Amino acid sequence: MTVKEELARRAALVEEFLVTCLKDRGIPDRLLASMEYSLLAGGKRLRPVLVLSWCGMLGGEPDKAMPFAASMECIHTYSLIHDDLPAMDDDDLRRGKPSNHKQFDEATAILAGDGLLTEAFGLMSAASIVRGLPADRVLKAIFVLAQAAGAGGMVGGQAVDMEFTGRTGVPLPELQRMHAMKTGALITAACECGAILAGAPEADVANAREFGRNIGVAFQIVDDVLDVVSDTETLGKPAGSDEAMGKTTYPALMGLDKSKQLAVEYVETALTHLSGYYGGEQEFLWQLARYIVDRVY
C-alpha cells in the first residue's frame, strides 16, 4: 500500500467519526447542513491523522484520542469557510465544490464556521469525559491547541496574510513568520497534542513539535508551488489565485526551483525528529513527510 493509499485509509476512519459528531446536538437544520457541507467535503484529514499517528507511535490509545483528532478537523474546516468569504480570500470553490457562502449564503457560512470552532472544544473535552483519557493530558492538549488556533497562531496568521495581500517587498522572514502562524501552527499542534495525549515525556513531545513545525513549513511551500504549477480541477480550488490576488508566496520571492528545494530541506529536518522511533507508525510518518514534497515532483 502506498503512503497516499494509507493516508486515505486513515482519513476514512476519521471521516466515519466526523459523520456522527454533529448529530443530535439540536443544531438548526440549515446551519447543520452548512456545517456538514464543509466538514464532510473530503480532504486529506492530515491534522487528525497526525494526532492519531503520534499518539499511537508513543504508546497512547488512538481510539480514545479520536474526538480530539476530530476537533482539529472542525477547526481547520471553520478556517477554510471563513478564508473563502468575500471579505477574506473571496474564493468560489473549495475541494471541487462551491464554497460554503456560495452554496448557502454569507451569514450562514459565518455561523457555520463559528459553530464548528465552538463544537471543536466540546470534542476535545469528550476525549476525557466520554473516551476516558486522563483529564490532565487532555487539558494540556486543549491549551496547546487553543494557542495554535487563536490570535497568536492561525487567526493571527490570517490577519497578517490580509495585511500582506497586494503588498510588494515582503521580506522572506516575514513570510515565514506569517505561514508559521497561519498554516504551521495547527499542523505543529496536531503532532504535539498527539504526543501529549499519549502521556509521552517532554523529549518526545518536543520531537513531535519540531516534526510538525518543519512539515508545516514544507506543506505551505508546496501549497504555494502547486498554486502555480497545478490546475483548478486537480487542486479543487482556483489555480493561480495567489498571484491574481497579489499574495506574497515562496515562488514569488524565490522562484519555483528554490522553493521546491527549500521544502525538501524542511522535510529532511523533520525526519531527524523521527530517527529514534520504530514500527509501523514511525514508517507511516516518515513516508507522509516525504509525500508532502513528492506532490510537486
**Given pLDDT bands bounded at 50, 70 and 90, which one contains residue 141?**
very high
Percentage of the chain lying above the pLDDT 90 cut: 77
Give mean pLDDT, residues 108-129: 97
DSSP 200: -
On the question of pLDDT at 104 being above 60, the answer is: yes
What pLDDT was estimated at residue 232? Answer: 57
The pTM assigned to this predicted structure is 0.93
∠ CA(233), CA(237), CA(238), 5° rounding?
90
What pLDDT was estimated at residue 203? Answer: 97
Give mean pLDDT, residues 109-128: 97
What pLDDT was estimated at residue 96? Answer: 85
Give mean pLDDT, residues 128-151: 97
On the question of pLDDT at 55 being above 60, the answer is: yes
What pLDDT was estimated at residue 1? Answer: 82
Interval 256-271: pLDDT, tens = 999 999 999 999 999 9
Cα-flanking dihedrals φ and ψ of residue 98, to 5°?
A: -55, 140
DSSP 230: S
Nearby residues of 144 by Cβ (< 8 Å), 6 or more positions away: 189, 192, 193, 196
Q: Are 31 and 112 in contact (CB under 8 A)?
A: yes
Helix axes 46-57, 202-229, angle to 10 degrees: 150
What pLDDT was estimated at residue 233? Answer: 56
CB-CB neighbours of 28 under 10 Å: 11
* Rounded Cα gap, residues 120 and 135, in angstroms: 17
**Mean pLDDT for the chain overall:** 92
**Given pLDDT bands bounded at 50, 70 and 90, which one contains residue 167?**
confident
Give mean pLDDT, residues 221-233: 80
* Rounded Cα gap, residues 22 and 35, in angstroms: 9
Give mean pLDDT, residues 53-77: 98
